[in-house]
């Protein structure tokens, strides 16, 4: 058994997890800048007409393609090796991005359309090709290591031990704090290079940050808990559907006479207990004479174990809850899109001297996350624990549901601000004299909701997933954010298309003084209420995963 160092402030957060968290901070410092800049047109000028929401969607588009693809390699390599491999890929991508920009895409300083300047040569096709190859290489690396490092950090805690179980919850909290600290750094210090046009320098700063992050992660290697690779779990799931299809006409036998293997046949993976759900899939574990080849070897495409069947049931059972989280991600995405547009239509001057960019209001969201994590850990959880007799305070599903409610009030606050902003407009072609600081409540509420929703998601999907699919649970959380961005763009496009019919101005206009952005926020409130009702219904009927280990039945709280 490995020995661990503990820090009082981090409530028994282990040294390995401390290394993982510092690693994430280092990575996110470069992530925001590196990927965001990759979404711009090669050269100095960002893509014309690209709104903040479109750029955010571009970031997520580059990652969502890889969140599930990397799972094919993960079970075969193991989480530790996967973290290193994809991190190296990410580092190589940033180096390529820096070099391709330096040698092929930088516009010389003595060219342009001015008098006495020679015309600028357009970027070469080779340079543009290298630029986009490096862009998708960085996205491939990010999409691979982000879910892996979250799951690898959770591996450092033993869920069967009550103390380490609580420490794992603390880890997910500080893990999410690390994401926000990195985002804060990239949106402040590193964004300076973007504003000044120092793209190449910014890319190299990102590259150095990634290299340091990898070094920090490697320093913790002697202290990590390592687990054997579990093999390709995707193939195992496909085998269940194949076996169930072949036996679709067979009647279920009475009792629990289904195929399972001895504990030592699949080392490293806890067995799952059989549940009376999706009984049609249980046919995959019915033993027939056709299930064996000559020589008495099992045909894995015709006969599966109960654990294999329950793995598929587990994933299918979580899908309705996961779909509900996508609607929340649509609300979360508004901070990078409509909230920014709303802020630009307000008075951004403070004390008559300082001008605050509308996008900088996200500092209230990040601050809210930091404070809410501490408030939850040291105030909310202890009080809830006394009331519910649950050592964790509230369950993961209750925590996620609380996040949905808080985000709903965040959208209501945004609608109220927009109504008052439009009422105070003096000149239709000028921003409202209403201070941009009135947006603070909506950012604070969304930030607080993240602590409940996303941290709850990480723990729920990681804890409920079978041992060989833990990283898939983290990928679901990441993919929820990505799909939320896509859904947000689709919602804006649909609302704009419907509300601008018959030559009407519409709800979301270039000049918000002529629009009705508050109606869009209220539409999201209505969708959130419906989403919350569905979430509660799915949470009530959901049955948690039960493991069998060492002859004991282990049930993970939900």
pLDDT, tens digit (0-9, with 9 covering 90-100), for 350-407? 776 778 788 788 889 988 998 998 898 888 888 988 888 877 778 889 999 999 999 9
Q: Per-residue pLDDT for 98 more than 90?
A: no
Rounded CA Rg of the chain: 26
Helical (H) or strand (E) element with 244? helix 233-246
Task: Return mean pLDDT, the chain.
Answer: 77
Q: Which candidate, 464, 71, 477, places its Cα nearest to that of 237?
A: 71
Q: Per-residue pLDDT for 558 more than 80?
A: no
- Cα–Cα distances (Å) from 383 to 8, 229, 375, 377, 379, in that order, read 20, 40, 11, 10, 6
* Residue located via tokens 């080392």: 267
Q: Per-residue pLDDT for 6 more than 50?
A: no
Q: Can you tell me the mean pLDDT for 486-509?
A: 87
**Backbone conformation region of residue 148, classed left if phi is above 0, alpha if psi is from -120 to 50, else beta:** alpha
Residues near 87 by Cβ (< 8 Å), separated by ≥ 6?
27, 141, 145, 210, 213, 214, 217
Distance between CA atoms of residues 307 and 314, nearest Å: 10
Do 312 and 264 form a contact (C-beta atoms < 8 A)?
Answer: no
Q: Tokens in use for 239?
A: 């085998």
Do 331 and 54 form a contact (C-beta atoms < 8 A)?
Answer: no
Q: How many percent of the chain have pLDDT more than 90?
A: 17
Q: Can you tell me the mean pLDDT for 481-500?
A: 87
Residues near 79 by Cβ (< 8 Å), separated by ≥ 6?
148, 151, 152, 155, 227, 470, 471
Going by their DSSP bridges, the two strands 271-272 and 546-549 should be labelled as: antiparallel
Do 277 and 306 form a contact (C-beta atoms < 8 A)?
Answer: no
The predicted-structure confidence for 517-536, as pLDDT tens digits, reads as follows 999 999 999 999 999 999 99
Q: Which candidate, 477, 480, 479, places its Cα nearest to that of 465?
A: 477
Span of 37-46, 92-101, 302-311 with lowest mean pLDDT: 37-46
Q: How high is the pLDDT of residue 140?
A: 79
Q: What's the order of all strands across the beta sheet hosting 271-272?
A: 271-272, 546-549, 552-555
Q: Can you tell me the mean pLDDT for 144-157?
A: 76
Q: Which candidate, 139, 125, 123, 110, places its Cα nearest to that of 36?
A: 139
Q: How high is the pLDDT of residue 269?
A: 66
Q: Per-residue pLDDT for 225 more than 70?
A: yes
The domains found in the chain, sorted by start residue, are 1-229 (1.20.1250.20), 233-311 (no CATH), 317-558 (1.20.1250.20)
Q: Can you tell me the mean pLDDT for 288-314?
A: 82
Q: How high is the pLDDT of residue 8?
A: 38
- Higher pLDDT among residues 368 and 116, named by residue: 368
Segment of 16-30, 231-245, 487-501 carrying the highest mean pLDDT: 487-501
Q: How high is the pLDDT of residue 534?
A: 96
Q: How high is the pLDDT of residue 138?
A: 82
- Higher pLDDT among residues 410 and 85, named by residue: 410
- Higher pLDDT among residues 329 and 80, named by residue: 329
Distance between CA atoms of residues 417 and 420, nearest Å: 5
Q: How high is the pLDDT of residue 288?
A: 83
Distance between CA atoms of residues 369 and 335, nearest Å: 14
Q: How many percent of the chain have pLDDT more than 70?
A: 73
- Cα–Cα distances (Å) from 30 to 24, 27, 41, 160, 367, in that order, read 10, 6, 19, 36, 20
Q: Is the pTM of this model over 0.85?
A: no
Distance between CA atoms of residues 258 and 313, nearest Å: 15
Q: How high is the pLDDT of residue 52?
A: 46
Q: Can you tell me the mean pLDDT for 426-434?
A: 86
First to last CA, the chain: 28
Residues near 420 by Cβ (< 8 Å), separated by ≥ 6?
434, 438
Sequential DSSP letters for 338-371: HHHHHHHTSB-EETTTEE--GGGGHHHHHHHHHH
Say how many CA atoms lie within 13 Å of 171 toward its Cβ: 32
Q: Can you tell me the mean pLDDT for 287-310?
A: 80
């Amino acid at each position: 058994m490995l020995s661990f160092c503990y820090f009082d402030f981090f409530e028994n957060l282990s040294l390995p997890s401390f290394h993982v968290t510092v690693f994430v901070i280092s990575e996110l410092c470069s992530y925001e800048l590196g990927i965001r800049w990759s979404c711009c047109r090669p050269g100095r000028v960002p893509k014309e007409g690209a709104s903040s929401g479109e750029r955010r969607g571009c970031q997520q588009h580059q990652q969502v393609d890889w969140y599930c693809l990397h799972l094919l390699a993960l079970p075969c390599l193991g989480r530790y090796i996967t973290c290193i491999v994809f991190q190296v890929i990410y580092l190589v991508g940033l180096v390529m991005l820096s070099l391709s920009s330096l040698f092929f895409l930088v516009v010389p300083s003595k060219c342009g359309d001015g008098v006495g300047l020679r015309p600028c040569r357009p970027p070469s096709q080779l340079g543009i090709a290298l630029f986009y190859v490096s862009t998708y290489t960085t996205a491939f690396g990010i999409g691979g290591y982000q879910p892996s490092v979250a799951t690898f950090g959770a591996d450092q805690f033993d869920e069967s031990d009550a103390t380490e179980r609580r420490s794992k919850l603390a880890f997910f909290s500080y893990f999410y704090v690390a994401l926000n600290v990195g985002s804060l750094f990239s949106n402040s210090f590193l964004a300076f290079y973007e504003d000044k046009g120092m793209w190449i320098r910014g890319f190299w700063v990102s590259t150095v940050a990634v290299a340091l992050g990898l070094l920090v992660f490697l320093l913790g290697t002697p202290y990590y808990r390592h687990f054997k690779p579990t093999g390709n779990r995707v193939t195992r799931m496909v085998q269940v559907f194949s076996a169930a299809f072949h036996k679709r006409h067979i009647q279920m036998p009475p009792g629990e006479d289904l195929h399972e293997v001895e504990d030592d046949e699949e080392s490293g993976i806890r067995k799952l207990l059989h549940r009376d759900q999706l009984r049609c899939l249980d046919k995959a574990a019915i033993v027939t004479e056709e299930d064996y080849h000559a020589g008495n070897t099992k045909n894995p495409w015709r006969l599966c174990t109960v654990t294999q069947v329950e793995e598929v049931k587990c994933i299918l059972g979580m899908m309705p809850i996961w779909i509900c989280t996508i609607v929340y991600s649509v609300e979360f995405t508004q901070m990078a899109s409509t909230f920014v547009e709303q802020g630009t239509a307000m008075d951004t001057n403070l004390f008559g001297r300082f001008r605050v960019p509308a996008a900088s209001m996200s500092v209230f969201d990040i601050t809210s996350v930091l404070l809410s994590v501490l408030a939850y850990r040291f105030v909310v959880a202890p009080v809830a624990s006394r009331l519910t007799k649950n050592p964790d305070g509230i369950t993961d599903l209750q925590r996620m549901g609380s996040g949905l409610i808080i985000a709903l009030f965040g959208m209501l606050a945004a609608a109220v601000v927009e109504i008052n902003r439009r009422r105070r407009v003096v000149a239709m072609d000028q921003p409202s004299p209403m201070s941009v600081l009135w947006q603070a409540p909506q950012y604070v509420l969304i930030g607080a909701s993240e602590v409940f929703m996303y941290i709850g998601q990480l723990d729920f999907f990681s804890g409920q997933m079978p041992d060989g699919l833990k990283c898939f649970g983290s990928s679901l959380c990441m993919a929820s954010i990505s799909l939320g961005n896509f859904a947000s763009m689709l919602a804006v496009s649909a609302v704009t298309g419907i509300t601008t019919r018959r030559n009407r101005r519409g709800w979301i206009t270039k000049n918000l003084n002529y629009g009705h952005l508050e109606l869009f926020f209220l539409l999201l409130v209505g969708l959130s209420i419906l989403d919350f009702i569905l979430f509660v219904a799915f949470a009530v009927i959901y049955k948690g995963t039960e493991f069998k280990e060492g002859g004991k039945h282990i049930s993970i709280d939900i």
